[in-house]
Amino acid sequence: MQWDRLLTFGGFPEPYSRNSQFFSRRWRKLRFEQLVREDIRKDTAIRELDQIETLARILSERSGEQLVYASLGREVGVSEITARDWVSVLSSFFFGFRVPPWSRHIANAIRKTPKWYLRDWSGIVDAGKRNETFVACHLLKAIELWTDVGFGEYGLHYVRTKQKQEVDFLVTKDGKPWFLVEVKTGDRHLSRTLVDVQKALNAPYAFQVVMEMPFIKADAFSSDAPVVVPARTFLAQLV
Q: Nearest-CA neighbor of 59 among 30, 34, 36?
A: 36
Q: Which residues lie across from 156 on neighbouring strands?
A: 171
Give whole-number Cα distances, 80 to 52, 76, 77, 119, 191, in Å. Answer: 13, 10, 9, 23, 36
pLDDT for the residue numbered 104: 74
Distance CA 207, CA 211 (A): 12
Is position 111 within any domain?
no
Question: Is the domain of 82 the same as that of 146?
Answer: no
pLDDT tens sequence for the chain (239 residues): 789 999 999 999 999 999 999 999 999 999 999 998 899 989 888 889 999 999 999 999 999 999 999 999 999 999 999 999 999 999 999 999 999 999 876 655 556 899 999 999 999 999 999 999 999 999 999 999 999 999 999 999 999 877 778 999 999 999 999 999 999 999 999 999 999 999 999 999 999 999 999 999 999 999 999 999 999 999 999 98
Question: Is the domain of 140 the same as that of 63?
Answer: no
Is position 114 within any domain?
no
Question: Is the domain of 91 the same as that of 45?
Answer: yes
**DSSP state, residue 101:** B
Torsion of CA 67, 71, 77, 78, to 10 degrees: 60
Distance CA 219, CA 197 (A): 22
Question: Is the domain of 132 the same as that of 216?
Answer: yes
Question: Is the domain of 172 the same as that of 223?
Answer: yes
Question: Is the domain of 91 the same as that of 159?
Answer: no
Question: Is the domain of 60 the same as that of 12?
Answer: yes
Kindly report whether the global pTM for this prediction surpasses the value 0.85. yes
Is position 103 within any domain?
no
Strand 115-118 versus strand 154-160 pairing type: unpaired
Question: Is the domain of 206 the same as that of 137?
Answer: yes
Is position 25 within any domain?
yes
Distance CA 88, CA 227 (A): 35
Q: Nearest-CA neighbor of 140 among 229, 63, 218, 61?
A: 63
Question: Is the domain of 80 the same as that of 180?
Answer: no
pLDDT for the residue numbered 62: 97
Question: Which of 100-123 are b and which e, b meaning 16 or more Cβ less than 10 Å from the residue's Cβ?
Answer: bbbbeebeebbeeebbbbbbbbbb
Is position 229 within any domain?
yes
Last residue of a domain, one of 51, 72, 95: 95
Q: Nearest-CA neighbor of 118 among 46, 48, 51, 28?
A: 28
Is position 53 within any domain?
yes
The range of the structural domain enclosing residue 225 comes to 127-236
Task: Specify the number of domains making up the chain.
Answer: 2
pLDDT for the residue numbered 144: 97
Question: Is the domain of 149 the same as that of 86?
Answer: no
Q: What is the biggest distance separating any 2 CA atoms in the chain, rounded to whole angstroms? A: 53
Question: Is the domain of 11 the same as that of 79?
Answer: yes
Question: Is the domain of 67 the same as that of 137?
Answer: no
